[in-house]
Chain A
Amino acid sequence: MLDGEEKLVKSAVGGDSSAFGSLYDHYQPMIYRFVLVKVGRREDAEDITHQVFTAAWQNIGTYAHRGHPFSSWLYRIARNQVIDHYRAGKGEVSIDQIDPEAFASTADAAADLERKLDVEKVRRALLALKPEYQDVIVLRFVEDLPIKEVAEAMERSLGAVKLMQHRAIRELKQLLS
Chain B
Amino acid sequence: MNLFETLKQLKAIQPDPAFKENSRRTILATEPAPRILPSLKSLSPRRLIFRLVETGAAVALTGFFILLLMGGLSGSKFAPVQYSSIDPTALKAEAKAIDIQIQLANVKYSEAAASTAALAGPKRPVLAAGLMAAATATSTEAASSTATTTAISIDQALQGLTN
Chain A positions within 8 Å of B, measured between CB atoms, are: 13, 15, 17, 20-21, 24-25, 28-29, 32-33, 36-37, 42, 45-46, 49-50, 53-54, 57-62, 102-103, 105-106, 108-110, 115, 118-119, 121-123, 137-138, 141-144, 169, 172-173, 176
Contact = CB atoms under 8 A, between A and B. Distances in A.
B14 interface: yes
B16 interface: yes
Contact of A106 (B9, B31, B33): B9
A51 to B, nearest CB: 10
What DSSP secondary structure best describes chain B's contact surface?
Answer: helix
B9 A29 contact: no
Given A36-B13, A50-B27, A122 B32 contact: no
B69 interface: no
Interface residues of B, number: 30
B31 to A, nearest CB: 8
Interface string B53-77: 0000000000000000000000000
A57 B15 contact: no
Interface of B: 1, 3-4, 6-16, 19-20, 23-24, 26-28, 30-35, 38-39, 42
Contacts of A50: 23, 26-27
A117 B150 CA distance: 125
B43 to A, nearest CB: 13
B23 A143 contact: no
B1 A118 contact: yes
A172 to B, nearest CB: 7
